[in-house]
Amino acid sequence: MPSKRVLITGLSTYWGGRLAQELEADPDVEAIIGIDRTPPKVELERTEFVQVADHHTLIRRIVQGAEIDTVVDTRLVIDSITTTPRKAHENNVIGTMNILAACSGPDTTVKKVVFRSSAHYYGCEQDDPSFFTEDMRRPHAPRTALERDIVEAEAAVGDFGAKHPQTTVTVLRFTHGLGPDIRTSHSQLLSLPVVPTILGFDPRYQFVHEDDIAGALAHAVREDLDGIYNVAADGVLALSEIISLLGKTNAPILPPWGTGLAVAAAKRLGIRIPREMVQELRFGRGLDNRRLKATGYRFRYTSRETIEKLREHQRVQPMLRDAGGEYRYEREVEDFLRWSPSVRREGEAEWRPSRDQIAALRRTLDSLEAGREPTGTDR
Amino acid sequence: MAGETTTALTPTDPRDLLPGLEPDRRLDDWGRSERIEGLFDSTVYEFYYRIWFRCEVEGIENVPGTGGALLVSNHAGALPPDAAMITKAIREEHPQPRLVRPLVENFFKGYPGLSMLLPKIGCVPAHPANAHRLLADEGQLALVFPEGRKGSEKLYKERYRLRRFGRGGFVETAMKAGVPIIPIAVIGAEEAQPIFAHVSALQKLTKLIYFPITPTFPALGPLAALAFLPAKFKIRFLEPVRTDDMGAAPWEDASLVQEVAQEIRARIQEELLDMIGRRRSVWFG
């Protein structure tokens, strides 16, 4: 079933915004509605934004009112430096439950739920396989609050799927996204001139380009993918390889023992390394992306090309800084552009019946009125 | 999630979806570096293979030229040189030189330095999923030592007495991948680095997997762990054991798995005794 009326939760996150842009280009998608607590950060043409917190009765009203058939949940916090653990828990666990609650019920219009998850689900341990597949359960209990929240959120989505067999439930586990517009602790680490690494370790890393993030989410909206899918580009790189591709210096300054203390010291110097990342800097992680590829999705970039793109961006970034102001959402302007009859909307060729069609319709109506079978309809 | 029937997937061979090789990459997806492995191969391995251990190889024709196969060998020496010598033997003697991926226990992933070096020289952490990908999907040769550390930590007086072959996991892996198992018997490694005793207090202190007393270690310092006595190495590749003709899903049958594991262990043990029986000198063969 192709999705026509889509609700994006977390429109103001990078993922939600990019997905909305991607879906706007698709004429099959009739309505795109985005919700979030804060205004969107990217320019949107026809997406309607509703500023609302994750409250299930409100979301439910939006879902019912707009006859939403597909809900894409992109709110998940995957980087513990972006917010406090408490807020992350509120968002990742309670928020997910609210959104699922808004989609459930016997009279719901929702036919598909796409949940953006993270490869943090798998964690990062010494005895991990080199390539995680979707069927692998997390081998160890979660180490950090963030991982625990992600596991819990996924369990809620799994429960929802079990209770709603008619609904297509897609879980996309994304590896680290990289690109000019995405800011995570990994992109911050890789933008330093000297990249701190743990002495004696060279972890394996896999990335996904930001275009592929939007592409994979849109793919899940267009196709019916039931189940869990890893989203990670082809190719697993060693950290040393990444650093040399970026033309940076590899600085193995974090000691292999007592790494936690060194990380605390680095924090004082302004380099924040979240706990998930410390594990990854030691053991790395690779994902098997073949299940998603088998559904017909083709990645536009490999991990290596993603890094090369990042390098290009890092080269031109100093020139671009202060060039153009950042996008700011202006409610009044957006509303005017969307709803005012004075605005000439490009590409919106309004359908008008032709003279012949009106004549045919009139004849049909006349004949129906006269109680006869309609005859001589042109169409 | 809802039933699989709603998903309109075209059945695709997962092998066709493996990522392609990018020509400019210096490493493969497992982390192996052609350059670093080549460097080791042309210096350290070459020296030990030709000059120090003077390896002698029999039955190389038992190693298939294409497709996946699981090589299973006995294991010895505090810092076992057998993996490198088997790898080198296939590269040197086989008509179609092939890469061998030794599966190493994942505690090495926790050692700084080793965790960096081992993947670069082609080692892969031992995990059933890794072995399956190597054997079934990539069609490579994987080398396992089912005795694991129990083999390498055994004392000199217990030499050439095979330890328990794990829980037969290697047989299960080969069955699932449908690849043959090629047993290998190696002699020489026990004498190259005999262990006379273990010091458990120092093991706890250093957090090594064991702290052995060998002729050179620890008396001559930590690097002496790399020093081997020049014992003569003999490597014998035995006839492959097919696993694809044992019926459907043979790995479900725990007794069959144990039986095959026992049989392979017995064959290697028998072959080892035969080789030692024929050997005139530990040093000259």
Encode pLDDT of A82-98 as tens digits: 888 899 999 999 999 99
How far is the alpha carbon of B146 from chain A, nearest alpha carbon, in Å? 17
Residue range B172-193: mean pLDDT, rounded: 93
More confident residue, A319 or A288: A288
Best residue in A103, A110, A131 to probe B by mutation, most B CBs within 10 Å? A131
How far is the alpha carbon of B167 from chain A, nearest alpha carbon, in Å? 18
More confident residue, A301 or B17: A301
Instruction: List the structure tokens of A134.
Output: 């979707």
State the CB neighbour count (10 A cutoff) for residue A255: 13
Residue range B29-35: mean pLDDT, rounded: 92
Instruction: List the structure tokens of B228.
Output: 């081997």
Give the model's pLDDT for residue B7: 42
Which residues in chain B have Cβ-Cβ distances shorter than 8 Å to A200? 111-116
Give the model's pLDDT for residue B3: 37
Give the model's pLDDT for residue B54: 95
Give Rg (Cα) of chain B. 20
Best residue in B29, B106, B107 to probe A by mutation, most A CBs within 10 Å? B29
For B31: left if phi > 0, alpha if psi spans -120 to 50, otherwise beta; the answer is left
Nearest to B129 among A131, A282, A302 (CB): A131
Which neighbouring-strand residues pair with A70? A6, A112
Q: How far does CA A46 lie from the centroid of its chain?
A: 19
Q: Which residues of A178-208 are buried (b: 16+ CB within 10 A; e: fewer)?
A: bbeebebbbbebbeeeebbbbbbbbbbbbbb
Residue B215 domain flag = no
Architecture of domain A5-194+201-237+283-332: 3-Layer(aba) Sandwich (3.40)
CA geometry: angle B281, B283, B285, nearest 5 deg: 50
Q: B270 with B74: CB under 8 angstroms? A: no
Domain span at B35: 29-187+232-278
Give the model's pLDDT for residue A379: 46
Domain containing B132 — which CATH number? Answer: 3.40.1130.10
CA geometry: angle B2, A176, B29, nearest 5 deg: 95
Residue A88 parent element (H or E): helix A85-89
Of the pLDDT bands very low, low, confident and very high (cuts 50, 70, 90), residue A289 is very high
What is the pLDDT of chain A when averaged over all its residues? 88
Residue range B180-197: mean pLDDT, rounded: 92
Q: Is A367 exposed, middle or buried (0-12, 13-18, 19+ CB in 10 A)?
A: middle
CB contact under 8 A, B31 and A236: yes
State the CB neighbour count (10 A cutoff) for residue B254: 11
Residue B131 domain flag = yes
Task: Look at residue B5 and tell me whether its pLDDT is greater than 50.
Answer: no
Give the model's pLDDT for residue A232: 96
- Rounded distance between C-alpha atoms, residue A230 and residue A117, angstroms: 9
Lowest mean pLDDT among A256-260, B29-33, B120-124: A256-260
Residue B284 domain flag = no
Task: Give per-residue pLDDT as tens, B87-99.
Answer: 999 999 999 999 9
CB contact under 8 A, B6 and A136: no
Task: Look at residue A168 and tell me whether its pLDDT is greater than 90.
Answer: yes
3-class DSSP state of A22: helix
Helix axes B254-278, B169-177, angle to 10 degrees: 110
Measured between alpha carbons, how far is residue A335 from residues A47, A51, A350 in Å? 11, 13, 20
Residue B14 domain flag = no
CA atoms within 13 A of residue B136's CA, in its CB half-sphere: 17
Residue B251 domain flag = yes
Best residue in A124, A226, A289 to probe B by mutation, most B CBs within 10 Å? A226
Task: Look at residue B226 and tell me whether its pLDDT is greater than 80.
Answer: no
User: In percent, how much of chain A has pLDDT > 90?
Assistant: 58
A150 touches chain B (CB under 8 A): no
More confident residue, A207 or B21: A207
Of the pLDDT bands very low, low, confident and very high (cuts 50, 70, 90), residue A325 is low
User: In percent, how much of chain B has pLDDT > 70?
Assistant: 96
- How many distinct structural domains can be found in chain B? 1
Give the model's pLDDT for residue B98: 92
Residue B203 domain flag = no
- Rounded distance between C-alpha atoms, residue A31 and residue A67, angstroms: 10
A277 touches chain B (CB under 8 A): no
Query: Which of A45, A46, A42, A48 has its CA nearest to residue A326?
Result: A42
Residue with tokens 């400019």: B24
Nearest to A169 among B2, B107, B128 (CB): B2
Termini Cα distance of chain B: 63
3-class DSSP state of A263: helix
Which residues in chain A have Cβ-Cβ distances shorter than 8 Å to B133? 130-131, 288
CB contact under 8 A, A227 and B1: yes
State the CB neighbour count (10 A cutoff) for residue A266: 15
Which residues in chain B have Cβ-Cβ distances shorter than 8 Å to A237? 25, 27
Quickly list DSSP for A200-241: T---EE-EEEHHHHHHHHHHHHHS---EEEEE--S--EEHHH
Task: Look at residue B208 and tell me whether its pLDDT is greater than 90.
Answer: no
Tell me which long-range contacts A157-165 makes (C-beta under 8 A, separation of at least 24).
Answer: A157/A96, A157/A100, A157/A113, A157/A115, A157/A117, A158/B1, A160/A100, A160/A103, A160/A104, A160/A113, A161/A113, A161/B1, A161/B2, A162/B1, A163/A104, A164/A104, A164/B2, A165/B2, A165/B3
Residue B167 domain flag = yes
How far is the alpha carbon of B118 from chain A, nearest alpha carbon, in Å? 11
A45 residue type, one letter: E
How many cross-chain Cβ pairs, A to B, lie less than 8 Å apart? 116
Which residues in chain B have Cβ-Cβ distances shorter than 8 Å to A311? none
Kindly list the domain boundaries of chain A, sorted by start residue: 5-194+201-237+283-332, 354-379
**CB within 8 A of A177, min separation 6: which ones?**
A14, A15, A184, A207, A208, A209, A210, A213
CB contact under 8 A, B25 and A129: no
Task: Look at residue A116 and tell me whether its pLDDT is greater than 50.
Answer: yes
B10 residue type, one letter: T
Q: How far does CA A149 lie from the centroid of its chain?
A: 17
Instruction: List the structure tokens of B273.
Output: 């005794």
Residue A333 parent element (H or E): helix A331-339
Residue range A268-288: mean pLDDT, rounded: 89
What is the pLDDT of chain B when averaged over all its residues? 88
Per residue, the 3-state secondary structure of chain B, as one string, reads CCCHHHCCCCCCCHHHHCCCCCCCCCECCCCCEHHHHHHHHHHHHHHHHHHHCCCEEECHHHCCCCCCEEEEECCCCCCCCHHHHHHHHHHHHCCCCCCEEEEECHHHHHCCCHHHHHHHCCCEECCHHHHHHHHHHCCCEEEECCCCHHHHCCCHHHCCCCCCCCCCHHHHHHHHHCCCEEEEEEECHHHHCCCCEECHHHHHHHCCCCCEECCCCCCCCHHHHHCCCCCCCEEEECCCECCCCCCCCHHHCHHHHHHHHHHHHHHHHHHHHHHHHHCCCCCCC
Lowest mean pLDDT among A79-93, A357-371, B170-184: A357-371
CB contact under 8 A, B127 and A127: yes
Give the model's pLDDT for residue A32: 94
